[in-house]
Amino acid sequence: MAGVLRLILGDQLSMDIASLHNCNKSEDRVLLAEVKEEATYVKHHKKKIVLLFSAMRHFASSLKDSGYQVIYRHYDDDDNQGSLLAEVKKACTEHQFDKVVVTHPGEYRLLKSMQQWQHQLGVPVEIADDDRFIATITQFKEWVEGRKQWRMEYFYREMRKFTGLLMEGDKPVGGKWNYDQDNRKSLPADVSPPKPYTVAPDDITQAVIGLVESNFADHMGDAKDFNYAVTRAQALDVLAQFINERLPDFGDYQDAMREGNVWLFHSHLSFYLNCGLLLPMEVMRAAEQAYFDGDAPLNAVEGFIRQILGWREYVRGFYWHCMPQLQHDNYFNHQRKLPVFYWTGHTNMNCMRQCIGDTKRHAYAHHIQRLMVIGNFSLLAGLSVEEVNAWYLLVYADAYEWVEMPNVSGMILYADGGNLASKPYVASGQYINRMSDYCKNCGYAVSKKTGPKACPFNYLYWDFLIKHRQQLGNNPRMGLIYKSLDRMSQETVDAMQQQANELLLTIDNA
């Protein structure tokens, strides 16, 4: 027997990954490779690269300790081949393998490449299903078929029944499927969130930080102050800290924003779920147990489980069902280039300054910062769908295309015309003011729609609705807001449109 080459990708760092199933440790070899092609096809945030390279190196060490034979390619190895295919080809020339096994990747681009590998290598290539997810790609496809609308809420209910999470027989615990209405509170000034989990970089991580600073100097962010978990044991500590310290208040304040505090009561587990250090079911079971033990309220636990079992599972199925068309969708034909402040954070809009600044410093921002501040502006300003997708993919350490593109093209930009979202997620500055303290320290006045001090979100919001009335006017969820528009004086409407045009022209000429 010649054995099997088992390729592990940087977001598949789990001992339970499908490509390790039935591994013969004496004959098979496991390949992990840090390659330029994957690290630079967009200029990933430095902290994202540190997280993945360090986690990969620690995972390789764990594999060796467990008796696996590991081939590991460091980014700066003299014979690094630069791409996954080339590294697999090199391994196949150095050793004789009966076949190559890899788990289904998280990007359409990579899957299409892998489907050609067998022909290119002359060795059978098996692409195993990624069973870390609860729903298979086929399951989602079967759920979609015959439905006029693909709404996450109904998919989520099916997943609750399928897993039994927060269920009493065929009924939801507490009698309701969804407690989202209870989870929209602003954060009182006297409520102080606990400090986030941090860990001092060990020698492996320090070496990666040096590598990233040397080889990715023109990428966003700073790698030197990196302090995230990079091992499964550390990721489990992050989970335990969340369950004990943050989960009880997560539900109430999950949509809140506060200047200078990016972490709040969020779990920060997406870093580790999305690269494989944690598994979805163990995370959800831990939250469910906290409810049953009386340590966390139902609105918090249900809201947290919905983010994983509902939204995370849904967007993954949505991505694979809608590709490759999803990457080309542009319902409003938006083409405007990204403003310079998306990279620098230098803008007089305090909400954007805070959220982009948090992103730049931490390679993280929570979902409302991403959706209702940065994403809201991106849609209102008509920014390029392609450029916005690339930005979200590179700036966040938990971003992989399967989760990023549905959230950006479908949820944030409404570029798919409503397959994912029932209406565009746009709002004036009043929403941001209600959910944050950002407006208190802003150069603009959130109360003003027009004039030199007017909040740009206000006039951009109404300008967007006016421009796209033909496409949105018949949407039943937009009826009330268009009635409000119709009650405005023509003078106000004209002034808002003029001010919006002036701002957009400034962006175009920057």
Specify if 434 maps to a domain.
yes
Could you list the residue range(s) of the whole structural domain that residue 463 is in? 341-509
Specify if 327 maps to a domain.
no
Specify if 332 maps to a domain.
no
Among residues 305, 322, 307, which one has the least CA distance to residue 420?
A: 322
Per-residue pLDDT of the chain (510 residues; tens, 9 = 90+): 589 999 999 999 999 999 999 999 999 999 999 999 999 999 999 999 999 999 999 999 999 999 999 999 999 999 999 999 999 999 999 999 999 999 999 999 999 999 999 999 999 999 999 999 999 999 999 999 989 889 999 999 999 999 999 999 999 999 999 998 878 899 999 999 999 999 999 999 999 999 999 999 999 999 999 999 999 999 999 999 999 999 999 999 999 999 999 999 999 999 999 999 999 999 999 999 999 999 999 999 999 999 999 999 999 999 999 999 999 999 999 999 999 999 999 999 999 999 999 999 999 999 999 999 999 999 999 999 999 999 999 999 999 999 999 999 999 999 999 999 999 999 999 999 999 999 999 999 999 999 999 999 999 999 999 999 999 999 999 999 999 999 999 999 999 999 999 999 999 987
Asked if 253 and 174 sit in the same domain, the reply is yes
Spatial separation of the C-alpha atoms in residues 394 and 338, rounded to whole Å:
14
Specify if 87 maps to a domain.
yes
Among residues 1, 9, 8, which one has the least CA distance to residue 26?
A: 1
Domain end, chosen from 128, 145, 178, is at 128
Specify if 319 maps to a domain.
no
Asked if 141 and 123 sit in the same domain, the reply is no
Helical segments of 3-116, H only: 36-40, 46-65, 84-94, 108-114
Asked if 16 and 118 sit in the same domain, the reply is yes
Contact, 415 vs 409, CB < 8 A? yes
Spatial separation of the C-alpha atoms in residues 85 and 73, rounded to whole Å:
13
Specify if 326 maps to a domain.
no
Among residues 401, 253, 266, 411, which one has the least CA distance to residue 324?
A: 401
Contact, 448 vs 454, CB < 8 A? yes
Asked if 279 and 354 sit in the same domain, the reply is no
Sheet holding 99-103, edge to edge: 70-73, 29-33, 4-7, 99-103, 125-128
pLDDT digits (tens, 9 = 90+) for 233-251: 999 999 999 999 999 999 9
The CATH number linked to 380 is: 1.10.579.10
Spatial separation of the C-alpha atoms in residues 451 and 279, rounded to whole Å:
51
pLDDT at 1: 55
Looking at residue 162, its amino acid is F
| C-alpha angle 463-467-468 in degrees, rounded to nearest 5 | 120
Specify if 222 maps to a domain.
yes
pLDDT at 207: 98
Domain end, chosen from 102, 128, 154, is at 128
The CATH number linked to 122 is: 3.40.50.620
Asked if 166 and 276 sit in the same domain, the reply is yes
Euclidean distance between the first and the last CA atom of the chain, given in angstroms as a whole number: 63
Burial class (CB in 10 A: 0-12, 13-18, 19+), 444: buried
pLDDT at 295: 97
Question: How many domains does the chain contain in total?
Answer: 3
Asked if 372 and 445 sit in the same domain, the reply is yes
Specify if 306 maps to a domain.
yes
Asked if 282 and 348 sit in the same domain, the reply is no
The CATH number linked to 271 is: 1.25.40.80
Domain end, chosen from 94, 128, 162, is at 128
Tokens of 301: 């636990």
How many of the other CB atoms lie within 10 Å of CB of 233?
11
Asked if 152 and 192 sit in the same domain, the reply is yes
Asked if 485 and 372 sit in the same domain, the reply is yes
Asked if 158 and 304 sit in the same domain, the reply is yes
pTM of the full structure: 0.96
Asked if 296 and 357 sit in the same domain, the reply is no
Asked if 173 and 227 sit in the same domain, the reply is yes
pLDDT at 233: 98
Spatial separation of the C-alpha atoms in residues 180 and 41, rounded to whole Å:
37
pLDDT at 180: 85
